[in-house]
C-alpha cells in the first residue's frame, strides 16, 4: 500500500472512531452504487421520484427549512496568522477551530454510514487537476458529488500516484443552525463542515475546495483559482476564442455561459461552446498564455429564473438524470419554479401550495446535472491541457456609471477593474435599491486569503514572456431615467462578445477615455437590434463627475486592505484620477 493510501486509511479510521459511524463505505463512482444510493433515499423519503415519462431518473430533495443556502457568517478561514486570512474572511485560530469541530463530530455519525468519497477536480488526466477526499454521512452529498466531480475509483488511483489530496470532513449533524460551521485550514489543505446538508456547505469539492483552498494553493504554485465561467465563442471562420468571466450573483453568469446567439449571428455561423459555468482554474502555459480548465463535471445551478426565455440551454438539460432541491411540484410530479408552464400543487416544503406561505419554489432552489447534458457543452471541457483564454471579463449590475463594455488599457488597469467591481442591490435582494456592494473578481465569499495578497498575485502574472488575455468590464444593466434597461441582454450579449473578440484580434480600434477604452458606436454589431433613441449614446457614455465619486469610493474600498494593498493599484487609481481631472499627461490613442 502506498504511503498516501496508508495515510488516507489512517484518517478514515480516526474519523470512524471519533464519529462512531456504524458502517464505512468506500465509494467507487459506479452506476450500480449511484442506483443503490438513490433507492435507499427513495425508500427513506429523502428523495421523491419525479414524473418518469417527462423527467426520467430525476428526483426531488427537500432540505430542512433552516438549511437552504451558504452560511457565509459561519464560514471561517483558519490560518496560523490572522492577517493571512485578511479582512475579507472570518478568521479563527486553527487549534481553536479544530477543538470546536472535534467536539461537534464526536459521535455525530452514530447509526449512520461514513462514506469515503475520492474525487478529482478537473479532467482526470490533466496536470492542472487536483484531488480530494470527502468523508460524509450524507448519501445526498455522495449522489451530488458523483455528478459534480470525477468521483470514485479513478480518482483514488490518481491520489495513490500523486501522494497528496485535500481532506474534507462533513456531517449533517442534527441540522441545528446554532451548531453549523464550515472551517477551512488552507495551510493543512483541510476542510471541516458540520450541521448543514446544503450544497455549498456540504459538497466540499465545490466552493470549499475549488475556490477557498485552491486559491491558496494557486497562489503558492503560480496559477489562479477563480469564480469564473469559461465560454468558447466560435466565429464564422471556425476559430474558437475562449473567454473567462466573473460576475456577482444576479448578473447573468449562467446565462452567458450557455448563451444562444441571436438568429442573425447563428445564420452567419457564430456559435457558443460551454466549458464551465462557475469555476475556472488558469495556469500559464509554455507559450505564455493562460490556459484554463473547469474543475467541475456538473452544474449546481439556481432553478428560479431558468426558463425557455432566459436560458433555453439550461432548461433543455434538465429533462433527465437530474437532482432538484427545494423546487415545487405540479400535480403530475414535474418540477416547477417561476418561469415554467403549469401550476404548482405542492411547495418546496411539501405543503399544498398557498401564496400566503411564501413562494412555491425556494428562491435558492437548485438543480444538479452533468455538464455533458448541456446542448452547448464543449468537448474541450475534458481537454487535459485546458483551453487558451483570449479575454477576461468582469461584470456587475450598475444602473448608471459603467458603460456597456469597457476595455482595460493594460493588465494592471484590468486588475484594478476586477478589484473594484461592484453591483447595486435590487429591492428583491435587500429592500434597498441602488446600494453598491464591492465584490472583487466576484471572489469576496470565496478567496481563501488576504485580498491584498490576492491582488498582488494577479499582478505577478505580468512579465516580459507573458501573453496575457485582454481584460474587459461589461454592464448589461444600465438603465434610463424610468428604470428601464437600455440593453436587451440575454442572447444579444453576443454582440458585445463579438466586439471583444474583434479587439483581441486587432480588427477594430477603440475610443480612449480616462476610465478605459470604449467601442466606436459603428463597430458594435447592432444589425436588427431596435434600441431606443439615445440608448447607444448613453450605454457608451462616461460621466466624469460621477466617476470622480466612483474613484473616491474605490479608494475607500481598497484602503480597507491596509498595508498589503499593492502600490501598483494605488498608483493606477491615482493615474485615473489625474486623467479625469485633466491634470495628467495626455494618454495615447488605443491601438
369 close to 299: Cβ distance less than 8 angstroms: yes
The 10 Å Cβ neighbour count of residue 516 is 24
Tell me if 234 sits within 8 A of 273, measured CB to CB.
yes
58 catalytically annotated: no
Of 466, 300, 491, the closest CA to residue 389 belongs to 466
| CA proximity to 440, closest of 38, 67, 88 | 88
- How many residues does this entry show for the chain? 591
Distance CA 421, CA 416 (A): 8
Q: Which residue has the cell 477604452?
A: 517
> How far is the C-alpha of 245 from the C-alpha of 275, rounded, in Å?
12
Residue position matching grid coordinates 425508500: 43
Q: Please, are residues 104 and 195 in contact by the beta-carbon 8 Å criterion?
A: yes
Taking the CA atoms of residue 85, residue 88, residue 89 and residue 93 in that order, the dihedral angle to the nearest 10 degrees is 40
Q: Which residue has the cell 484594478?
A: 416
Q: How far apart are the first and last CA of the chain?
A: 59
Listed in order, strand segments (DSSP E) in 100-155 are: 113-121, 130-136, 150-151
Q: Are the C-beta atoms of 221 and 232 separated by less than 8 Å? A: no
Which listed residue (251, 280, 374, 447) is catalytic?
Answer: 251
Q: Which of 446, 462, 460, 455 is nearest to 417 (CA)?
A: 455
Cα gap 459→461, rounded to integer Å: 5
Beta strand segments in 266-398, E: 271-276, 280-284, 290-293, 298-302, 322-325, 328-329, 335-336, 366-370, 387-395
Cell numbers that stand for 503 in this block: 479587439
Question: What is d(CA 159, CA 571) in angstroms, rounded to the nearest whole number?
Answer: 45
What is the rounded distance in angstroms from the CA atom of residue 221 to the CA atom of residue 214?
Answer: 10
282 Cβ contact list (under 8 Å, min separation 6): 223, 224, 226, 244, 290, 291, 292, 386, 389
> Which residues are catalytic, by number?
251
Amino acid at each position: 500500500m502506498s504511503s498516501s493510501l496508508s495515510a488516507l486509511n489512517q484518517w478514515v479510521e480516526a474519523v470512524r472512531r471519533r464519529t462512531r459511524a456504524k458502517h464505512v463505505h468506500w465509494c467507487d463512482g459506479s452506476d450500480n452504487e449511484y442506483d443503490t444510493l438513490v433507492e435507499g433515499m427513495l425508500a427513506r423519503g429523502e428523495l421523491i421520484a419525479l414524473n418518469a415519462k417527462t423527467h426520467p431518473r430525476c428526483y426531488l430533495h427537500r432540505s430542512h427549512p433552516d438549511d437552504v443556502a451558504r452560511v457565509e457568517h459561519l464560514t471561517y478561514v483558519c490560518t496560523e496568522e490572522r492577517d493571512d486570512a485578511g479582512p475579507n474572511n472570518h478568521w479563527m485560530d486553527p487549534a481553536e477551530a479544530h477543538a470546536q469541530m472535534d467536539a461537534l463530530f464526536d459521535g455525530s455519525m452514530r447509526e449512520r454510514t461514513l462514506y469515503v468519497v475520492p474525487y478529482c477536480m478537473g479532467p482526470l488526466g490533466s496536470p492542472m487537476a487536483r484531488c480530494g477526499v470527502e468523508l460524509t454521512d450524507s448519501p445526498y452529498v455522495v449522489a451530488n458529488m458523483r455528478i459534480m466531480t470525477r468521483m470514485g475509483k479513478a480518482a483514488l488511483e490518481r491520489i495513490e500516484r500523486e501522494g497528496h489530496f485535500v481532506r474534507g470532513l462533513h456531517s449533517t449533524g442534527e441540522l441545528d443552525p446554532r451548531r453549523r460551521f464550515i472551517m477551512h485550514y488552507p495551510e493543512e489543505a483541510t476542510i471541516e463542515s458540520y450541521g448543514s446538508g446544503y450544497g455549498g456547505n456540504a459538497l466540499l469539492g465545490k466552493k470549499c475546495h475549488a475556490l477557498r483552498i485552491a486559491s491558496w494553493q494557486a497562489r503558492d504554485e503560480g496559477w489562479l483559482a477563480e469564480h469564473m465561467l469559461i465560454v468558447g465563442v466560435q466565429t464564422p471562420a471556425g476559430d474558437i476564442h475562449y473567454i473567462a468571466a466573473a460576475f456577482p450573483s444576479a448578473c447573468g453568469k449562467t446565462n452567458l455561459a450557455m448563451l444562444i446567439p441571436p438568429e442573425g449571428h447563428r445564420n452567419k455561423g457564430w456559435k457558443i461552446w460551454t466549458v464551465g459555468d462557475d469555476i475556472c482554474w488558469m495556469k500559464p502555459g509554455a507559450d505564455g498564455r493562460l490556459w484554463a480548465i473547469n474543475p467541475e463535471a456538473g452544474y449546481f445551478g439556481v432553478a428560479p429564473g431558468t426558463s425557455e426565455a432566459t436560458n433555453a440551454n439550461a432548461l433543455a438539460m434538465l429533462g433527465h438524470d437530474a437532482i432538484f432541491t427545494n423546487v415545487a411540484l405540479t400535480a403530475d410530479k414535474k418540477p416547477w419554479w417561476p418561469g415554467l408552464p403549469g401550476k404548482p400543487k405542492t411547495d418546496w416544503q411539501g405543503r399544498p401550495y398557498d401564496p400566503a406561505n411564501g413562494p412555491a419554489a425556494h428562491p435558492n432552489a437548485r438543480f444538479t446535472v452533468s455538464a455533458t447534458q448541456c446542448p452547448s457543452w464543449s468537448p474541450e471541457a475534458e481537454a487535459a491541457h485546458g483551453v487558451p483564454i483570449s479575454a477576461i471579463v468582469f461584470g456587475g449590475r450598475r444602473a448608471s456609471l459603467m458603460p456597456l463594455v469597457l476595455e482595460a488599457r493594460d493588465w494592471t488597469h484590468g486588475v484594478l477593474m476586477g478589484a473594484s467591481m461592484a453591483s447595486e442591490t435590487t429591492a428583491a435582494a435587500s429592500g434597498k435599491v441602488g446600494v453598491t456592494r464591492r465584490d472583487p473578481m466576484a471572489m469576496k465569499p470565496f478567496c481563501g486569503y488576504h485580498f491584498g495578497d490576492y491582488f498582488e498575485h494577479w499582478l505577478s502574472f505580468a512579465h516580459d514572456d507573458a501573453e496575457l488575455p485582454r481584460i474587459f468590464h461589461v454592464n448589461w444593466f444600465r438603465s434610463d431615467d424610468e428604470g428601464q434597461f437600455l440593453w436587451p441582454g440575454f442572447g444579444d450579449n453576443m454582440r458585445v462578445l463579438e466586439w471583444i473578440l474583434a479587439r483581441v484580434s486587432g480588427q477594430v480600434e477603440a475610443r480612449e477615455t480616462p476610465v478605459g477604452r470604449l467601442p466606436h458606436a459603428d463597430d458594435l454589431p447592432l444589425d436588427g437590434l431596435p434600441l431606443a433613441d439615445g440608448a447607444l449614446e448613453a450605454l457608451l457614455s462616461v460621466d466624469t463627475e460621477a466617476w470622480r465619486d466612483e474613484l473616491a469610493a474605490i479608494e475607500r474600498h481598497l484602503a480597507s486592505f491596509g498595508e498589503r494593498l499593492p502600490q501598483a493599484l494605488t498608483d493606477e487609481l491615482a493615474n485615473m484620477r489625474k486623467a479625469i481631472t485633466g491634470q495628467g499627461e495626455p494618454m495615447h490613442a488605443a491601438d
